[in-house]
Amino acid sequence: MFLGPPGAGKGTQAERLKADLSLTHLATGDLLRDEVKRGTPLGLEAKRAMDAGELVPDAVVVGMIRERLVGDAASNYLLDGFPRTIGQAESLDAMLEGLGAPLDHVLLLSVSQDELLRRLGGRWLCRNCGKSYHETFAPYGGEPCEATGDPCDLYQRDDDRSDAVANRLNVYAAQTAPLIDYYGSRGLLREIDGERGQDEVYGQITSAIQGG
């Protein structure tokens, strides 16, 4: 599981790790954005909370994860952006116990607030393949979209506006940061210095997973 504040690099590192370890990547933010894009009732309900930088109700995200954490996914999963509250973590515990698929690692990506603001303010994403770029740290170089083969269709997320970002950081501190102690007290948590370059962060992640 990747734990960390908005913009810490969870999605960026998850893309790489899932490819290297053939993991099923379960990212509640991506799942919710897909519901919004398809205009489903769940998406319409979630959009208001997401745009404001608030959390979507626990029952909604727990249901989404429960639906997907079956079959092969249950033995080889990577959680990104879930859980985000103690209530979600408790529901996940019950779910994983039922599946006999305990968590192996919880990796906390730590990044300073100034750096988070720089990362979120400069992030651009492709509408079609979902790949994340940054105007300074990981600029788009015109490479073809992994979904369409055409140039990427880049956009900035509505919740990367400065007012929504401020709210997301407050929500993280109040509702998600308590998970650091929750998993720390079980000996599952490893802290990663997420402030470093992408390759260096990935090196720390693979070494933590291998017990280094």
Contact footprint for ligand AP5 (CB under 6 A)? 4, 6-12, 28-29, 32, 49-50, 53-56, 61, 81-84, 88, 119, 123, 132-134, 137-138, 159, 168, 197-198, 201
C-alpha gyration radius of the chain: 17
| Cα 122 from Cα 169, distance rounded (Å) | 16
From residue 205, give the alpha-carbon distance in Å to each of 75, 160, 168.
Answer: 19, 26, 24
Closer residue to ligand AP5 (CB): 123 or 190: 123
Active site residue 131: no
Residue 10 annotated to the active site: yes
Q: Is 123 a catalytic residue?
A: yes
Active-site pick, 66, 157, 161, 196: 157
Beta carbon nearer to ligand AP5, 60 or 209: 60
Please say if 66 is a catalytic residue: no
Q: Which of 10, 47, 119, 190 is catalytic?
A: 10
Active site residue 168: yes
SS3 content of the chain, % helix, strand, coil (to 5): 50, 15, 35
Yes or no: say if 111 and 195 are a contact pair by the CB < 8 Å rule. yes
Q: Of 33, 47, 131, 168, which one is the catalytic site residue? A: 168
Backbone angles phi, psi at 97, to 5 degrees: -65, -45
Residues with catalytic annotation?
10, 84, 123, 157, 168
